[in-house]
Amino acid sequence: MTGRLRTTGCAHRQNRFRSRLRRAVASSEGPVGPARRGPAHVYADRMTSRPVTSPARSVDDYRDSIERLLRPLAARAVRSAAVPEALGRQLATDVRSPIDLPVFRNSAMDGYAVRAASVVVAPVTLPVAGVVAAGAAGQTPLPAGAAMKVMTGAPIPPGADCVVPVEDVRAEGDSIVVERGRAAGEFVREAGADVRTGELLVRAGTALAPRHIAALAAVGLAEVPVFQPIRAAVITTGDELVPAATPLRPGQIYNSNGIALAAALIANGVEVVSVEHSTDDPGVFRRLLSAATSSADIVFTSGGVSKGDFEVVKDVLAPLGGQFGSVAMQPGGPQGLTVVDGVAVLSFPGNPVSTMVSFEVLARPILRALAGLPPVPGHELPLRNAIRSPEGRRQFLRGTLERGGPHADPVAVAVASGPGSHLVAGMAWADVLIDVPAEVTSLPIGATVRVWTL
């Protein structure tokens, strides 16, 4: 399954990843099946460029092969990233707070800082001794029997132990009438109440979301250590494909796979370094593949993997050890898996829905785990449609969720479109993939099915 596309060396920053990939290929388990099921050279007969006569591989078996191949990418380089640019990156080490948060005692409300003992008997009139704005030093002590006006976030003056909200007072010249008493500590944010100096703020391995970025910025951190993201390149193939906004000639269609795969990769924590398109000319594909493997940790291709006359991906990669054959799934049956210069190349079929279902089922769970993202959500729901499924193939139907209300949990799932791999509009309407087991040929209305969130 390994191959050489060119004779030049790999980029220095990728040598470690590629050597690990080569070791994975050479290991006793092999990247295409666990050792207990036979050595790699035996399993290769099931995924070759020759006509496949043995049974198609199961989805789980094939996905395990990909996972073993990509596992070395978990050990990635660490770099420092500016906090605003670290969104979506995986934190390399635990981050502890360098300061208390809040930094100082401050007011939770616009109002008046007082001693609770001064307002036990309300209503009570207190003179206003001053004003403390947000950002003020706030070191002037509160005189006994007085109040100081404070803004939200302003320091609590020494001597005060609670804040009376502005809604509970009535101004009378230079004094206020407090209509309602308050207990000590009310509407006061104590220093360190949120997090103390040295306490864990964000755990290593976390994929940084906006809420994490906010916390890091709040404690004054300018940079954090993150793992270098996995770099991916995308190559689409086919003479019939043209870019968006190009006038279509007879026989041409717009190229959606490149844009769709790039978007899916970015959404799952991967850095996309290039998106290219190849004609069905093997020379063009070789040149693009050479550039892709020199800059990426993993390459995704679409099209050219089936049994037609112009299967450029299979024609180029099979002689390099690429394994091409059938996985027992619909859509997305034809698949290819190759290592070129130490870089994994995942080859999906070219129909748009087949491409995206292949990514969702075979690649997305693995990439999310490597990026530190939560697993793909899945749950069980009753069907609103009766469905039929091909025997021996695990079918992934596009489905829409039915909810009891705008923000309610889903109560059922309906098939969004037919099983055809060309039905792109159904993918756009879908919320989930309906997972129909390979041994099931039909399901009635109301049957419980497993669904995976898109």
**Do the strands 253-254 and 223-227 form a parallel or antiparallel pair, or are they unpaired?**
unpaired
Give the largest Cα separation in the chain, rounded.
95
- What residues does 153 pair with on adjacent strands? none
- What residues does 428 pair with on adjacent strands? none
CB 204 within 8 A of CB 64: no
Q: Which amino acid is at 363?
A: A
Tens digits of pLDDT across the chain (454 residues): 555 454 333 344 445 445 544 444 444 333 333 332 332 222 233 333 333 334 799 999 999 999 999 999 988 899 999 999 999 999 999 999 999 999 999 999 999 999 999 999 999 999 999 999 888 876 899 999 999 999 999 999 999 999 999 999 999 999 999 999 999 999 999 999 999 999 999 999 999 999 999 999 999 999 999 999 999 999 999 999 999 999 999 999 999 999 999 999 999 999 999 999 999 999 999 999 999 999 999 999 999 998 877 799 999 999 999 999 999 999 999 999 999 999 999 999 999 999 999 999 999 999 999 998 999 999 999 999 999 999 999 999 999 999 988 889 999 999 987 655 456 777 888 999 999 999 999 999 999 999 999 9
**Tokens coding 190:** 């104590």
pTM exceeding the 0.95 threshold for the entire prediction: no
Element spanning 176, H or E: strand 175-178
Q: How much of the chain is in helix, strand and coil states, percent to nearest 5?
A: 25, 30, 45
Packing angle between helix 15-26 and helix 59-70, nearest 10 degrees? Answer: 140
Q: What is the pLDDT of residues 418-436, one digit of tens each?
A: 655 456 777 888 999 999 9
Give the position of tokens 């502890």: 96
pLDDT at position 11 is 42
What is the rounded CA–CA span in Å between residue 349 and residue 357? 10
- What residues does 175 pair with on adjacent strands? 127, 172
Side-chain half-sphere of 84: how many Cα atoms within 13 Å? 0
Q: Which amino acid is at 5?
A: L
- 339: CB partners within 8 A, 6+ apart: 1, 2, 3, 21, 22, 25, 31, 69, 321, 345
pLDDT at position 308 is 75
What is the rounded CA–CA span in Å between residue 192 and residue 147? 25
- Give me the count of residues in the chain: 454
- What residues does 403 pair with on adjacent strands? 410
Domains in the chain, start-ordered, CATH in brackets?
A: 2-57+229-370 (3.40.980.10), 78-100+193-227 (3.90.105.10), 106-189 (2.170.190.11), 378-453 (2.40.340.10)
- 238: CB partners within 8 A, 6+ apart: 255, 279, 280, 303, 304, 350
